[in-house]
């Protein structure tokens, strides 16, 4: 049973436009969510996180939105740049635990 | 964040053999984690390695297949034993605390012939 799902395996966006990556989860006990970016031949790099007590967290061009009632989070990248082309993973963690559950990833391609 | 070095970065092995992957961190950390990413799949936690205690394995992973050592607060090894083609994956170590994001090494790309 996949508790964290990224239903879009790939996404293409024009440079300068907004990229929206989506993630759904099933476990209502998750209280901390993260996004990672992964380039080929490198490990995942932490990008941004959000606690379940918030519905939005912003860091520069990256904003994560959390909709607890829908069990949905999204990552917005504005404006998108060619260097943002990578695989993006969302991850979720239960309260008081250190164990993260990862989605299968979305490959973002930003076209110049 | 901590700098995490993994060795080897990649390897091609014969079935039935074993490979030990090393993970070195540039600072002392309590918790280290080992993940597997099979082709086209998400990252799956294999086990948690705390210094001075036995590793804690997730469902579906056993010590005989994936023995782990954690001799000090900056180093851990994962051995993939008696390898078969199904073990072809990327193996990643990470560090992090209960209320912190985990940070990953660059991974070991393992192919079994």
pLDDT in tens, A11-21: 999 999 999 99
Q: Residue B90's closest CA among B30, B42, B26, B47?
A: B42
Residues of B with a Cβ under 8 Å from any A Cβ are: 1, 4, 6, 9, 31, 33, 40-45, 48, 58, 92, 94, 96-99, 101-107, 109
Q: Do A98 and B1 touch (CB under 8 A)?
A: no
pLDDT in tens, A14-49: 999 999 999 999 999 999 999 999 998 899 999 999
Cα–Cα distance measured from residue B101 to residue B109, given in angstroms and rounded to the nearest whole number:
23
% of residues, chain A, pLDDT over 90: 91
Cβ contacts of A57 within 8 Å, gap of 6 or more? A48, A49, A50, A63, A64
Give B18's pLDDT tier (boundaries 50, 70, 90).
very high
Q: Please tell me whether residue B61 adopts helix, strand or coil conformation.
A: coil
Residue A54 has pLDDT above 80, yes or no: yes
In contact, B94 and B105? CB cutoff 8 Å:
yes
């Amino acid at each position: 049973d996949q508790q964290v799902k990224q239903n879009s395996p790939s996404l293409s966006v024009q440079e300068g436009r907004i990229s929206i990556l989506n993630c759904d989860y099933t476990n209502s006990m998750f209280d901390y969510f993260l996004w990672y970016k992964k380039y080929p031949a490198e490990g995942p790099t932490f990008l941004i996180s959000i606690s379940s007590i918030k519905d939005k967290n912003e860091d520069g061009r990256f904003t994560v939105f959390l909709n607890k009632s829908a069990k949905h989070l999204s990552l917005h990248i504005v404006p998108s740049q060619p260097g943002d082309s990578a695989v993006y993973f969302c991850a979720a963690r239960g309260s008081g635990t250190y164990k993260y559950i990862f989605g299968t990833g979305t490959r973002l391609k930003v076209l110049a | 964040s901590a700098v995490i070095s993994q060795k080897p970065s990649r390897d091609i092995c014969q079935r039935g053999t074993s490979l030990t992957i090393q993970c070195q961190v540039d600072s002392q950390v309590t918790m280290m984690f080992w993940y597997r990413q099979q082709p086209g799949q998400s990252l799956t936690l294999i086990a948690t390695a705390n210094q001075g205690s036995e590793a804690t394995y997730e469902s579906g992973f056993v010590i005989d297949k994936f023995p782990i050592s954690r001799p000090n607060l900056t180093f851990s090894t994962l051995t993939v034993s008696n390898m078969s083609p199904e073990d072809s994956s990327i193996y990643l170590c990470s560090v992090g605390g209960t209320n912190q994001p985990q940070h990953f090494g660059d991974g070991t790309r393992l192919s079994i012939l």
